[in-house]
A and B are shown apart, each in its own frame.
Chain A
Amino acid sequence: MVELKTENRPMTALRLDHVSLRVGKHTILNDVSMDLPKGRVTALVGPSGSGKSSLLRVLNRLWDGVPRVRVDGSVWYGDTDLYAKRVDVSVVRSHIGMVFQRPTPFPKSIFQNIALPLGVYGAARSEIAGRVESALKTVGLWDEVSGRLNQSALTLSGGQQQRLCIARALAVEPTVLLMDEPASALDPKSRRRIDELILSLKDTVTVLIVTHHLDEARQVSERLGVLVNGRLVAFGETDAVFASQNDVVARYLSRHDEG
């Protein structure tokens, strides 16, 4: 097992270094480089099909084992290149969690949904109940479900399911959390709760969130990247990127605001 160290780059949680992604002959991501500042929220926006979700999947090696997929370049997590040989994928994924667009609760009890991954990482039996509780409290779900932890997670509403999935990802205490349009399948109220939750994670977890909603990006993120056709056309302070005069960026951002 390779220990992943972060001490040497205190300010950067993840560094993408000339990352490209090809599926067969198609180039999905073209030479993307960016730093995710530690403990901050970085948002990634761009038109549909620009490769935003694909980029997230590069960062926790979710492309592993998918045929005809090739990742070039490096993803640095501290001193470790995640794509180096002899890096244990499952350790990578315990440090870099992920939340998907649609809620993905396992067809098990609410409790088991969080306890299962904890068990995978060898949490002691005695501490599991406590960690489940604290994870549920972090996402503000505890008061709603504490009385029915043994019911199926599928009985929860969409918004609750998504918060359960965030709790599940946070329970294994990752340093980075990848969020793939986590609120887009939800109603406005649940969406707001998710946004508040993301803001509350600041300083404890580094978040990279893909979103279609520029409002959301503006609200939750401190850094913003704009991805167009697999290229990172802008990356920097969120306000600065929104103020950008760059043709491609301005065109994307303004068209979106109007629409």
Chain B
Amino acid sequence: MQAEPTLKSVRISPGRRLGSVLWRLLAVLATAAMLLVLALIFWTVIKGSLPAWSWSVLTTPTAGLTGGLENAILGTLWLGFLTIVGVGVIGVATASFAVVYAPEWVREMLILMSDILSGVPSIVFGYVGYMAFVVVCGWGFSALAAVVTLTMLSLPYVVRNTVQAFDKVPVEIRDAAKALGFSRARTLWSLMWPYSLSGIATGAILALSVAMGETGPLLYTAEWSDNLPSLALTHHSVAYLTYVVWTFIQQPYPQANALAYMAGLLLMVVVGAMAFATRFRAMERR
């Protein structure tokens, strides 16, 4: 006859219990460390920007190392808007081609190339953008040169996310569309795009936040301007927030330093709001 299993034998051994406690502790510590870093950043930036705060920061452009940030805010939004249009169109088109039209090896190749693109340091994009668009194309320091450069730089984020979103469309649904005689263009238009809208949006907003946070490529292509951005796409320098962060922080004037912190805070708020918006959308969809 077999012995009755005793409670002792099913109890978690002390060793496993210890291991479990240790891992849990480690996870909690790691999370705490991350939150600490985040808090430190916010603390530093908010504290540094306090002296510069007044509503007029939003409504007056910079004047040398003083003034407000209106030109930089509008410039960043303008460049961001143009970039999301460019990267959205090119990125979704590339992903559509890769998933729906291209043979397997071309698809893999495109994704690989997109990954390589995401590994290129942004300052290299800046230099290439400068040589190709500012000099060779003759656009000068301009919104166009900056936007094309930012588009190249942020393209992988849109391509990756869109390809992933397309791959989530069930094969059966695509087969059903095929069996109904849908052309590939029609399948894309009526099914793949609507189905993947949320994934595409996530990629586009990620790309946008990356693009808006860039400094190097813009130094080479947009230069800087004390004026508000104009609608002219070429031969007009554009102001942007990261320039203020990058340049004003190195100045020996407390006023300029405070503006730099303020520019950083504004960027964080805008990018954070966008990240939040995507999260929120994703959660709503569920």
- Report which A residues bind B (CB closer than 8 A): 60, 62, 67, 89-94, 97-98, 100, 102, 104, 106-108, 116-117, 120-121, 165, 168-169, 172
Of B103, B175, B180, the contact of A168 (CB 8 Å cutoff):
B180
Residues of A within 8 A of B181 (CB): 89-94, 117, 120-121, 172
B172 touches A97 (CB 8 A): no
Question: For residue B178, which residues in chain A have a CB less than 8 angstroms away from its CB?
Answer: 62, 93
* A104 and B186 alpha carbons, distance in the complex (Å): 17
| Residue from A62, A98, A120 in contact with B186 in the complex, judged by beta carbons closer than 8 Å | A120
| In the complex, chain B residues 157-178 whose Cβ is within 8 Å of any chain A Cβ | 170, 172-173, 175-178
- With contacts A100-B175, A104-B172, A104-B173 known, is A117 near B180, CB below 8 A? yes
- CB A231 to nearest CB in B, in angstroms, measures 25
Q: How far is the CA of A256 from the CA of B197 in the complex (A)?
A: 46
* Chain B interface, number of residues (Cβ within 8 angstroms): 19
Closest to B183 in A: A90
Binary A-proximity of B178-221 (CB < 8 A = 1, otherwise 0): 11111100100011001100000000000000000000000000
**Cα(A91)–Cα(B180), bound, Å:** 10
Q: Which residues of B contact A62 (CB under 8 A)?
A: 175, 178-179
Q: Does B104 contact A (CB under 8 A)?
A: yes
Cβ–Cβ contact A165 & B175, under 8 A: no
Q: How far is the CA of A60 from the CA of B180 in the complex (A)?
A: 10
Since A93-B179, A117-B180 are in contact, a sample of 15 more A-B pairs with Cβ atoms closer than 8 Å, ordered by chain A residue number, is: A60-B179, A62-B179, A67-B103, A89-B181, A90-B181, A100-B172, A104-B170, A104-B173, A104-B175, A106-B177, A106-B191, A107-B191, A117-B181, A120-B181, A172-B181
Of the candidates A102, A116, A172, the one whose C-beta lies within 8 Å of that of B172 is A102
Bound complex: CA of A60 vs CA of B170, how far in Å? Answer: 20
> Which of the residues B172, B182, B186, B195 comes within 8 Å of A107, measured between beta carbons?
B195
Q: Which residues of chain A are near B191, meaning CB under 8 Å?
A: 106-107
Q: How far apart sit A120 and B176, CA to CA, in the bound complex (Å)?
A: 14
Contact of B179 among A67, A98, A108, A121 (CB under 8 A): A98
Known A-B contacts A106-B191, A120-B186; A172 and B180 likewise in contact (beta carbons under 8 Å): yes
The 7 closest A-B pairs by CB, nearest first: A93-B181, A104-B176, A98-B179, A90-B181, A117-B180, A104-B172, A94-B181
A-B residue pairs in contact (CB < 8 Å), sample of 13: A62-B175, A67-B104, A90-B183, A93-B181, A94-B181, A100-B176, A104-B173, A107-B194, A116-B190, A120-B180, A121-B181, A169-B179, A169-B180
Please, which residues of chain A bring their CB within 8 A of the CB of B179? 60, 62, 93, 97-98, 100, 169
Chain B residues within 8 Å of A90, by CB: 181-183
In the complex, which residues of chain B have a beta carbon less than 8 angstroms from the beta carbon of A94? 181
| Measured CA separation A97–B176 after assembly (Å) | 10
Closest to A117 in B: B180
Chain A, Cβ-Cβ closest to B177: A106
Question: Complex: how many Å from CA A7 to CA B179?
Answer: 24
* Shortest CB distance A45–B (Å): 22
Q: A67-B103, A106-B191 are in contact. Are A120 and B172 (CB under 8 A)?
A: no
Residues on B with beta carbons closer than 8 Å to the beta carbon of A89: 181
Q: In the assembled complex, which residues on chain A have CB atoms less than 8 Å from the CB atom of B175?
A: 62, 100, 104
Q: Which of B172, B179, B186, B194 has the most CB of A within 10 A?
A: B179
Residues of B within 8 A of A104 (CB): 170, 172-173, 175-176
A contact residues around B180 at 8 Å (CB):
93, 97, 117, 120, 168-169, 172
